[in-house]
Amino acid sequence: MTATEHETVFTYGAPALKYGTGASDEIGYDLTQYGAHRVLVVTDPQVAATGWPQRIADGIAGYGIQAEIFDGVHVEPTDVSMQKAVDFARGTGPYDAFVAVGGGSAIDTAKAANLLTSNDGDLMDYVNAPVGGGRAPARPLKPLVAVPTTTGTGSESTTVCVLDVLSLRVKSGISHLRLRPTLAVVDPRLTVSQPPAVTAASGMDILCHAAESYTAKPYTEFERKRPELRVPYCGANPLADMFAEQSLRLLSWALPAAVRDGSDVKAREAMALAATFAGLGFGNAGVHIPHANAYPIAGQVRDFHPDGYPGEEPMVPHGMAVSLTAPAAFRFTFDAAPDRHLRVARLLAPDFEWPGDFADHLPAVLIDLVRQIGIPDGIGAVGYTESDVDSLVEGTLKQQRLLATAPREASADDLSEILRGSVSLW
């Protein structure tokens, strides 16, 4: 085998999945199948206030399993907030399983607590290089049941845990196959309480997961890897494509409908399915430039306060941050895979009035959609100006794990052009 041989193998991994109304009532039984006797339920204060985490903990206790609740998850978790969860789990454990109830923040925090109660070391030892040490866990993790209450992050399906490193003002993550949840329990009832702005932001996260994985660099264009060097994000492949296409079909009608009317049960169910499908796809194919840009956009925020989100701290929600540069990013990547970009546009908006230039089709669809659902008008609307672009580019360049999956290599100048073109979208 030579170093220049192209890859001929793609990998696919996914958690066991239980989907449907009432699925969360069965978690106690599911945990008995893993031999659990004592579990930690990880959630945030807002989700805890809905009563669902306690209801799930009570259901678990009904099967003779002790369930402790940690409700201190920080929305858009940081290294500091994750460390609090780790300290709690270490101080009150041991636990032989974890149950995450919430959005990506709760699920990612549970992944970190599971990792650092199953393995030694500190959080930064495991954060992806060059931000952290990039260390791989030496020992298996405990079973993790992920119960999403938002429709968007896909964290219930993925091998990734995302966090803000406060001292460096950068968003990064931990990525390893052992972080993937054991079981994803998707119960659409738990998503009905999402405010419209949260539905919009998390819905754009689903959309970008699907669109980025579908337009990612194909697995056959990577250099062949030795088996021990294979990574979870292996590039676009037939299985991931199938899930991405179905996710986009559902989003075409369900995302605007769910934002308009959060009590629309059909739209909520379709959004939950779309999020699940997108997670099963991008969790293997990968995402690229819009997600790489999103990390510094969220990590360097100064004073933006989004509607529908808790707390006094400034933040740019992850799905919002991803969507703000997506139109310009997909215009940049168009030439690498024109047919795929056009396919995404047509799945999202089959009856759209198309502009003349094919490269503008997907960006035009995305801009029309984000205007409809109330996403801000570019990075300028969340507090950035052209003078911030160099700092944002520096942050994006630290996301090499994501940039490696882009269908077209992006230089610092390319990223600068994408970000400058995203200061205002319309």
Q: Assign 426 a pLDDT band (cuts: 50, 70, 90).
A: very high
Q: What is the pLDDT of residue 230?
A: 86
User: Higher model confidence: residue 299 or residue 242?
Assistant: 242
- What would the pLDDT profile of 210-244 be if each residue is shown by its tens digit? 999 999 999 999 999 999 888 889 999 999 999 99
Structure tokens at 104: 């990506």
- What would the pLDDT profile of 28-51 be if each residue is shown by its tens digit? 999 999 999 999 999 999 999 999
**Other C-beta atoms within 10 Å of 229: how many?**
7
Q: Is there a single domain that holds both residue 80 and residue 214?
A: no
pLDDT at 415 over 90: yes
pLDDT at 311 over 80: no
Is residue 13 in some structural domain?
no
Buried b (16+ CB within 10 A) or exposed e, 103-118: bbbbbbbbbbbbbbbb
Structure letter (DSSP) for residue 262: T
User: Contact, 26 vs 18, CB < 8 A?
Assistant: yes
Q: What is the pLDDT of residue 93?
A: 87
State how far the Cα of 245 lies from the Cα of 268, in Å rounded to an integer.
18
Cβ within 8 Å of residue 313, ≥6 positions away: none
- Of 94, 132, 126, 91, give the one whose Cα is nearest residue 111: 126
E strands within 226-361?
Answer: none
Is residue 426 in some structural domain?
no
- What would the pLDDT profile of 68-90 be if each residue is shown by its tens digit? 999 999 988 999 999 999 999 99
Q: Is there a single domain that holds both residue 58 and residue 179?
A: yes
Q: Is there a single domain that holds both residue 105 and residue 211?
A: no
- Of 325, 319, 256, give the one whose Cα is nearest residue 293: 325
- What would the pLDDT profile of 131-143 be if each residue is shown by its tens digit? 899 999 999 999 9
Among 124, 156, 186, the domain-final residue is: 186
Is residue 337 in some structural domain?
yes
Query: 354 burial class (0-12, 13-18, 19+ CB within 10 angstroms)?
Result: middle
User: Contact, 280 vs 208, CB < 8 A?
Assistant: no
Span 181-194, mean pLDDT?
Answer: 91
Among 186, 207, 240, the domain-final residue is: 186
Q: What is the pLDDT of residue 1?
A: 43
Cβ within 8 Å of residue 392, ≥6 positions away: 293, 296, 297, 300, 379, 384, 419
CATH number at residue 218: 1.20.1090.10
Helix (H, G, I), strand (E, B) or coil at 241: helix
Domain that holds residue 353: 196-421
Average pLDDT of the chain?
94
Q: What is the pLDDT of residue 150?
A: 82
Domains: count for the chain? 2
CATH number at residue 157: 3.40.50.1970
State how far the Cα of 304 lies from the Cα of 324, in Å rounded to an integer.
14
Is residue 15 in some structural domain?
no
**Can you tell me which residue has the tokens 């959630």?**
43
pLDDT at 192 over 90: no
pLDDT at 322 over 90: yes
The dihedrals phi and psi of 237, each to the nearest 5 degrees, come to -150, 165
Which amino acid appears at position 112 of this protein? A
Range with the poorest average pLDDT among 147-161, 207-221, 242-256, 328-342: 147-161
User: What's the farthest any 2 CA atoms get from each other in the chain?
Assistant: 64
Q: What is the pLDDT of residue 4?
A: 67
Q: Is there a single domain that holds both residue 85 and residue 144?
A: yes
Is residue 10 in some structural domain?
no
pLDDT at 169 over 90: no
